[in-house]
Amino acid sequence: MNTILKAGLLAVFAATPALADEGSTVYDYDGTFDDAKFSVESAIVGEGLVIDYVSHVGEMLNRTGADVGSDMKLFEEADIFVFCSAVVSRKAMEADPMNIAHCPYGIFVAEREGKVMVGYRNYPEGPMQEVQALLDGIVKEAIGE
């Protein structure tokens, strides 16, 4: 790939949320991990939603690395806020009861190599896009957009 094309692609991606892969949407957070966690929690609760569980994935990965034969540190810290929306979930499942497979929803906060990020899993086209819009709104609120 030539240098001009690479530079052009880099400019396009710099102006949009960083995509970890096609399966998730990730935004950079300008602040500390703890501040990002507080912002995400506040944005979820601000939508009138209840956080069912906070999964401390980063702690688990750091604690169990040696047990599975790895010395790679994936995250300094990483948590996932797990919750659901009765209104949005009902709409999605009335359209297709098998959308239950996508519930509950999660927003993650992670710190890796000194960078803090906030994101969520992408959902399929159709009724689940309303869920994705909800998650994107919550994340944008949390990161101050």
For the segment 13-70, what is each residue's pLDDT rounded down to a tens digit? 333 455 446 799 999 999 999 999 999 999 999 999 999 999 999 999 999 998 999 9
CATH code of the region 17-143: 3.30.310.70
Rounding to the nearest 10 degrees, give the CA dihedral for residues 29, 57, 18, 141: -40
Domain locations in the chain?
17-143
Answer yes or no: are the C-beta atoms of 80 and 55 closer than 8 Å.
Answer: yes
- pTM to 2 decimals? 0.83
What pLDDT digit, counting tens, does each position of 81-109 carry?
999 999 999 999 999 999 999 999 999 99
